[in-house]
Each structure stands twice: as C-alpha cells, then as structure tokens.
Chain A
Amino acid sequence: MALGFRFDLEELAADTIMLNMGPQHPSTHGVYRAVLTLDGEKVVKLENVVGYLHRGIEKLAEDRTYPQIIPYTDRLDYLSAMLNNLGYVQAVEKMMEIEVPERAEHLRIIMAELSRMASHMVMIASFSLDVAGWTAWFPPFREREKILDLFEMASGARMLPAYMRIGGVASDVPPKFFPALERFLDSLPEMIEEVKGLIVGNEIFIGRCKGVGKLDLETALAYGVTGPNLRACGLAFDLRKAKPYGIYPRFEFDIPTLPNGDAYDRFVIRLLEIEQSARIIRQAMAQIPEGPVQAKVPRAIKLPKGEVYHQIESSKGILGFYLVSDGGNKPYRLHIHSPSFVNLGIMPKLAEGAIIQDLVVIIASIDFVMGEVDR
C-alpha cells in the first residue's frame, strides 16, 4: 500500500528545546539562572548562570575599616548571618592574635549554632515547598521565628544582626535570653516530629527524592563539595572536628552521615544536624561563665603586614576568609571562599538525564544561597 508522501526520518526526529529556568522562578532559590537544553522533559545539558546578586562586597571591603566590614559579611549567606560574622572576625583575630574572653566564646558558639539551625530550617521548609508539600513549610518557619526573636533579644535585629565584633561580641545578652532559649530548644522535637510525619515518611516524597541526584563520594570530592552535601555521601568530614576553631573541642556532638548521597539523604541530614546543633547549644548554655564579652582591642584596628586565611564550617560547607593587609586600617584584599559557589559546580553533572521535576528537587537539595555565590 503506497502512501501519498514519504517520511524522512531525519526531519521527524525531535529537536531539543532551550528553556531558561530564569532568575525569576519560584524554585530556583534566589536569583539563579539555569539554561537548560531539554529533550521533551529530560535535561540534556544544564548551564549555570550566576551573578544576578553581585554587590561587590569584596571590592567594597577594600575601602572600609575592619569593624565596618562586619555588617557586609552578614549579607553573604543571609540565612545564617552570624556564621559569616564568625568566620571573618576569627580571621582578623588570628592575624592579630587576640584572645577572646570565655563568655564571648560561648555566646559565639550559641549564636553560630542558632544560625546554622535557622539556615537548615529554611532549607527543609523550602524543599517541602518545592515538592508541593505546602503545609510542611509552616513548622520550620514557626520555629525559625523563635530563633529570630532570640536574635532580636540579643542584638536588636532579627536576620542580619552583625553581632560579632573583633575580640568578642557586640553586647551581652539580657537575662531573659537563656530561659527563652531553653523554651525554644524544648519545642524543637515537636517540629521535627511534624516534619517527619508530613514529609520524611511520606511515600510520595520518598518516591520523589530517593535515588534522585545521586552523588557518589569520588565525584563529590573531585568537585570540592563540602558541608552537609558531602556528609550525605558518606564521608564524616566536618571542620568543627577536623580542624577545630573557637572552643568547639570542648563540646560533645556527633557528625551525622548518610550513605546514599541522593536528595533524600541531603534532606534528612539537615534534620539530623539541627538536632546536633541543639545538643551543642545545651552544653554551651550549661558551661557559660560570667565575664566580659569583648577583649581589649585598639579603637582603630590595624593588621600587621601579611595575609591570613581562616576557614569555618558554615551551614552550607567550608567558608573561608582570605585577608591581605598592607599595614593600614583597611584591608588590601578580602576574598571570600564561598561553599555555595563551589557546590553549584556539580549542578551540570547532577542534572544530566533528570527531568524538570527532578531538577527542582536537586536544586533544592544542594541548598545554595545566591548571596554567597555572587557576593
């Protein structure tokens, strides 16, 4: 039976389409742009485009005195603001060899771990939102409100407090801070149970996230992934235990690891890390002594000539501050090694072969913050 026309297989083959998952998208966690080449719904190639939130923090720092840079470091990873503060002030203190008073060190640990918890809570809430588990957004944000109230009690600002200073912290906490902190820590297990009931045990969620965005350990190490993403691949590497800073060696806590390295593990590990941070805070609360909260530092801080690089374990991975000083009261160069920028490097690898729904889950599970990526 002859047909009236002939098929040309070349012409009938499907084309790939280019889709721009642009800076404005409900699920790209900030102003992140991914240029996708799609075959149907499957991603053939993903290209990262960043820079939409570049504010020139490193350049601005060259014209500010060392204490004036602290509010700018808040705005790097704005979800865990005081961890950035901690990295920066410890870098300066390392170079000037300042010793921080005991009370200030304990307060720093409490604030750092609270920031870590706040950041992880945002991650689990927005991850749930990305898989359309709308109700599971509310318990983490409800608890995060309590953390922000604690920050306001201590410093006056909720999200970007700029609380740490070179040589200590800005001010002492009021007397009602510790009872409020205790109440918050007591209400935390309920939130974790609610998230477990709504999301973690849910078969639809498990089907959506297990095996998605699988990252094996060699690839993770080759790309330089750090933080909870690396710990979800099976390696128990945490800078707080590997190269401790501050008074972390005095506290007893576990490093949670999970074996699979898929999106599900990256989600659950942040819940486990919230529990470990709560453990550290309880120990710090028990051990905190009375005393001054700021060491004696000169009014105009001048760093000796030279350079220093200091790393801390931020909520996203290893955050590093590199300072070069020429002897004046302003840095010659400040460079920030941001973990989210490095973690974004595995996006093209993980996205190959994923469909758009999986891509949204992968983006949410890597948990990058564009403030840190673009600086």
Chain B
Amino acid sequence: MSASSLLLAIQGQFGDNTLRAEYESFLEAALEMERDTRGGPVWGTADKARLAELVERGRDGDLAAMESIYEMFKRPVFGLIYRHAQNQAVAEDLLQDVFLKIFSNLRNVRDAGTFPGWVFRIALNTSYSYLRQKKAQGDKLVSLDDLGGNVEDRASEAVEKDLRGPLEQAIQTLAPRLRSVFILHDVQGFKHEEIARTLGCAVGTSKSQLFKARIKVREYLRAKKAV
C-alpha cells in the first residue's frame, strides 16, 4: 500500500473532510496533469530528455532516479512551500509529503513534459491544505515548530536598507493565490503560461493576479517606508 493510498484508506475510515478535501485536490491535480497532455509541454527550463528518462526509471522503482528528480526540483518546490508555511521545519515536512505523493503516483505520469507542472500543483495544493488546517486551528495551538526559525525572524536579520526583509514580510501578507503567482513569477522566474497551467487558470488571470499582488506588496512596502 502506498503512502497516498493509505491516506485515502484512513480518510474513508475517519470520514474527515479536511483530509478528503486534500486528497481530492491532489487527485484533481493528477487529473489535470492528464488533461495537460493535450496542450503539450511548456516548461522550457527543464531538461526534458533527462527528466523523461528519470521519470521512466522512477516509474520502475529506481531509487537513484527518484533522488535525482528530488534534487532537480527540491529548491524551487521548497522555496514555494516555505513561503507559504513560513517555517523551515513545517516546510520540510510538507516537502516530504509532496515528494511521497509524487513518487507514489509516478506510474501515472505518461508525459514527462507535464511533470514539472504537476509537481508544482501538488506542492501548491499541499501548501493550501496546510494553510487551511492552520487557519482552522486558529491560535489555539502553538506548535513547537512555530517557536523558531520562521520567515519573519530571517527577514529581521536582513540589512535594514536591504529590500529583502520587508519584501519577505510583504509576501506573507498576500492571499495564498496572489502569493503563489508572485512567488512563481517574480521570485522563481516562471512564465505566465507555466503558472496558468500549474494553477489551472487562464494566462490573463495569472497576469492580472500578478499585478494585484505587486500592488499589494507595494502598498505594504510604502506603509513600511521601504520604497
């Protein structure tokens, strides 16, 4: 039984809506990946031939191939998750969860060209799911993980005249969807076409959300007199 099928089994037993929603969003991402095949690959930055070979080997259970896939994606995926979770330990747990989901479902990947989009979609869905759970828990629980190493701490370490600290804080104030678009485009350098595929929206929506995100970031920075 794979980790994800175990999750599904547990959900059925518990009848828990949060987990079911999480798994459904994961399945939705998997289905979306299948639909993406029609549009062809758009991830120009990935080494497609190498990735295709790694995915093929990973499907056959080649651990070294999986590790190479992990190495290939860990930084951008972690960057995305980290800026949603705002905590190193939590982000690492989520990253682990994301890659377990990916590797458990690698056999469903038919086109390596759509693989990166699928990876980021799972990362986003996992991040959103975490944010929903965190919001549901409210301020009642303070995890030990929340006591150190968060983004705000890091931001305050940045040199004051540097924009990086306030900018990190500004990103945290964005709504999840705007935050995702801003991180993917402005921090990680993805194209709107790639973002639209990942988020399952139109390119125009990605552009307008980026603009909204930038305006909100600017408002925050101006209030802090950082720009």
| Binding between chains A and B | no
Interface residues of B (CB under 8 A from A): none
